[in-house]
Chains A and B, each alone.
Chain A
Amino acid sequence: MKMLILLIIALLGAPLFTVIGASALLGFSNGGIDLQVMAIEIYRLAETPVLIAIPLFTFAGYLLGESRAPHRLVSVSNALLNWLPGGLAIVALLSCALFTAFTGASGVTIVALGALLYPALKEAGYGDRFNLGLITSSGSLGLLFAPALPLILYGVVAQQLGLKQPVSIDDLFRAGILPGLLMLTLLALWSMWQKRIPLRPAVKTSWRETLQTLRESAWELPLPFVVLGGIYSGYFAVSEAAAITALYVLIVEVLIRREVPLANLARIIREAMVMVGGILIILALSLALTNYLVDTEVPTRLFAAISSHIDSKWTFLMALNVFLLLLGMMLDIFSALVIVVPIILPIAISYGINPVHLGIIFLANMQIGYFTPPVGMNLFIASYRFERPVMELYRATLPFFFILLAAVLIITYWPALSLVLLDKK
């Protein structure tokens, strides 16, 4: 009953942290625990070293979005790939994926890259509906690749649960590679299918031009290699990679290229930290709630209840997919992660699902949720950005939705795709 009231309050648009905080307060006070414990739980933010990566990566992402780096990202990919059939569409997919991985999937991608890619695709002769669909659905592409924040956050939440099978963030980064590539490949094939007759680019890029484009991006080019190489080889911890990225981007965009005036820096930091604060306060209170839920064995009892109806792992996964798709439409990825993972992860483990695999399933579903009609967030961002009615975007994104849904199903029912790259210990 109390939970029902809280759910209604959440649906009325109360800040989610208050709803979660209220549940935690209720839980602790029912259990006769002194509510001073809230301070101890919130203080746990200061006991999780990897969290430092969140403000640093977010800051770097906002800064990159304000500079002309997105423009250069598109021209470099274009110079390298425009010989392919469907080349420009593939350029769009790759740039969006890379940009999202570095900026943490907050709708920034559509705003920063959409404005560049949309007219370019149109000029190359792609249909309007295809372009809208491609850009809207690419806005969340790439969140399975390191160093995307959702992967890090999943690892943080899983580590708080004290599982027997530890979930390392490095493992999550490895596990995301093939499923992410699967999504990219399917979308690329669909794009090539759009342009079965490869239109030769009007002006063929010469070697000299390609070299020139590369030289223009010389400052940004090393970044993905250093960060991804450092993380995947295990040379950097995630928080170290975040610090290096943030400092590098700060120096390049503000001091060397001077594309972001120093005077704007305070505003950019504030905007980034508003987003970070919004995520961290929800995380802090969820940690309190999680502790209470685990202490009172809620997941165990839920598992008992569910397993009397669903006895096979595969049926459970099917139900999970439906549930996560619905969830992804309602909640943004960060709140969904911190609220729902603590409850479903123990249940999934009881069904014999690998916690790393579950993370990939979870994020892949959430990624589609971003543009699932009727309420996916990116649909509204794109509608606002390109000044089109939302109905038109529903139709435009539909083929992309089904393609990515197929990818999600493959990812869900083929665990090896996610797990094959993990270190076998």
Chain B
Amino acid sequence: MAASNSAGLTTRSLKLIHRLEDSLLVGLLLAMLFLAVAQILLRNLLDVGLVWADPLLRIMLLWLGLLGALAASRDNKHISIDILTRLLPARVRLLSHCFTALFTVCISGLIAYHSGRFVVAEFEAHATAVMGVPAWCFEIIIPLAFALIALRYLLHFGLHVSALRGKTAPP
């Protein structure tokens, strides 16, 4: 009873997180689209431009790219070479999935850790980016996205291991 309750809670909170991510992606893309078009109209019709629009657009691209990469980790949809794994027998393939998932956890974790140190340094140095906004506000997405990617692949790793031990169907 308690187990199924907590499982239900996990699924529900996962769903909530997914929805939050999706809304962020949709919001960012549409905002980027409208801001870019507004900038074109202003420039061509009124011959003025928003000073902050171009840097902001580029920062939005960084966020969109990393959040997109995070969304790709949800279903393990990252670009990879799959010629070899397609030919492997099912059990060996599962084993190689376990290994590559763990590898992804390590590398993403390392990148998250080191870029996190950078963001902390920027915070302490009071570095500013566009329009006096502290730089760390924009940079924070780098450690955040990589940490969450690492977490997601830890989840994939767990699922694959439990499939390998025959407890669940392969994901």
Residues of A at the B interface (CB closer than 8 Å) are: 9-18, 21-22, 25, 35-40, 42-43, 45-49, 51-52, 55-56, 59, 239-240, 242-244, 246-247, 250, 265-266, 269-270, 272-284, 330-332, 334-335, 375
Contact of A277 among B67, B99, B103 (CB under 8 A): B67
B103 and A14 form a contact (CB under 8 A): yes
CA A46 – CA B135 in complex, angstroms? 12
Partner of B84, one of A13, A15, A47: A13
Number of A-B contacts (CB under 8 A): 191
7 A-B contacts (beta carbon < 8 Å)? A9-B103, A13-B81, A13-B96, A39-B119, A42-B115, A45-B65, A273-B68
User: Which chain B residue has the least Cβ–Cβ distance from A239?
Assistant: B36
Q: Who on chain B is nearest to A277 by CB?
A: B68
Give bound CA distance, A292 to B152, whole Å: 29
> B96–A46 contact, CB under 8 A?
no
Q: Is B148 an interface residue (CB 8 A)?
A: no
Say if the beta carbon of B9 comes within 8 Å of chain A. Answer: no
CB distance from A27 to the nearest CB of B (A): 13
Q: Which residues of A contact B78 (CB under 8 A)?
A: 15-17, 278, 281
Name the distance in Å between B111's Cβ and chain A's nearest Cβ: 5
Indicate which residue in A18, A59, A275 contacts B29 across the interface (CB closer than 8 Å). A59
Bound together, the chains give a CA A13 to CA B26 distance in angstroms of: 29
Rounded to whole angstroms, the CA-CA distance of A246 and B30 in the bound complex is: 10
A49 pairs with B58, CB closer than 8 A? yes
Q: Which residues of A contact B138 (CB under 8 A)?
A: 46
- A91 and B83 CA atoms in complex are apart in Å by 33
- A375: chain B residues at CB < 8 Å are 83
Q: Which of B33, B62, B81 contacts A16 (CB 8 A)?
A: B81
- A-B contacts besides A18-B100, A52-B36, 11 pairs, CB < 8 Å: A9-B100, A10-B81, A13-B82, A14-B100, A14-B103, A39-B143, A56-B36, A273-B29, A276-B68, A277-B67, A280-B68
Task: Using A51-B61, A56-B36, A269-B29 as known contacts, say yes or no to A281 and B81 having CB atoms under 8 A apart.
Answer: no
Residues of B within 8 A of A55 (CB): 29, 32, 61, 64-65, 68
Q: How far is the CB of B127 from chain A (nearest CB, A)?
A: 12
CB neighbours (8 Å) of A22 from chain B are 103, 107
Chain A residues with Cβ below 8 Å from B139 are: 39, 43
Q: How far is the CB of A38 from chain B (nearest CB, A)?
A: 5
> Which residues of chain B have C-beta atoms less than 8 A from A48's C-beta?
58
Q: Quick check: B40 and A36 within 8 Å, CB to CB? A: no
Contacts of B58 in A (CB 8 A): 45-49, 51-52
Q: Which residues of chain B are near A16, meaning CB under 8 Å?
A: 78-81
User: Which B residues from 9 to 37 make CB contacts under 8 A with A?
Assistant: 22-23, 25-26, 29-30, 32-34, 36-37
A residues less than 8 Å from B100 (CB atoms): 9, 12-15, 18
> In the complex, A266→B29 CA distance in Å?
10
Least CB distance, B102 to chain A, in whole angstroms: 10
Tell me the dominant secondary structure on chain B's binding face.
helix
Q: Are A12 and B107 in contact (CB under 8 A)?
A: no
Binding site for A on B (CB under 8 A): 22-23, 25-26, 29-30, 32-34, 36-37, 40, 54, 57-59, 61-62, 64-72, 76-85, 96-97, 99-100, 103-104, 107-108, 110-111, 114-115, 117-119, 121, 138-139, 142-143
Residues of chain B within 8 A (CB-CB) of A17 are 69, 78-79
> Within 8 Å CB of B110, what residues of A?
25, 35
CB within 8 Å for A278 and B81 given contacts A12-B100, A45-B65, A52-B57: no
Residues of B within 8 A of A12 (CB): 84-85, 96, 99-100
- Out of B30, B66, B104, B117, which one reaches A14, CB within 8 Å? B104
Given contacts A52-B57, A273-B71, are A15 and B79 in contact (CB under 8 A)?
A: yes
CA of A389 to CA of B25 in the docked complex: distance in angstroms? 38
Listed residue (B26, B34, B65, B139) with the most chain A CB atoms within 10 angstroms of its CB: B65
Assess the A331–B81 pair: CB atoms within 8 A: yes
Candidates A13, A42, A239; contact of B80 at CB < 8 Å:
A13
Q: If the complex has contacts A56-B32, A277-B72, are A18 and B85 also in contact, measured as CB distance less than 8 A?
A: no
- CA A273 to CA B33, docked complex, whole Å: 13
In the bound complex, residues from chain A placing their C-beta under 8 Å from that of B66 are: 277, 280-281
The reply to whether B64 and A273 contact each other, CB–CB distance below 8 Å, is: yes
Contacts of A18 in B (CB 8 A): 100, 103-104, 107-108
Bound CA–CA A269/B138 (angstroms): 22
Contact B22 A14 (CB under 8 A): no
Docked CA distance A17–B109 (Å): 13
Nearest Cβ distance between residue B82 and chain A, in whole angstroms? 5
Q: In the complex, what residue of chain A is closest to B40 when comparing beta carbons?
A: A240
* A280 CB contacts on chain B under 8 angstroms: 61, 64-66, 68-69
Given contacts A42-B142, A52-B61, contact A334 B79 (CB under 8 A): yes
A40 CB, min distance to chain B CBs, angstroms: 7
Centre residue among B59, B72, B76, B99 by max chain A CB count within 10 A? B72
> B121, A278: Cβ atoms under 8 Å?
no
A49 (CB) vs chain B CBs: closest residue: B58
Question: Chain A residue with minimal CB distance to B145?
Answer: A281
Are B84's CB and A11's CB within 8 A? yes
Given A43-B62, A281-B66, A284-B65: A274 and B72 within 8 A (CB)?
yes
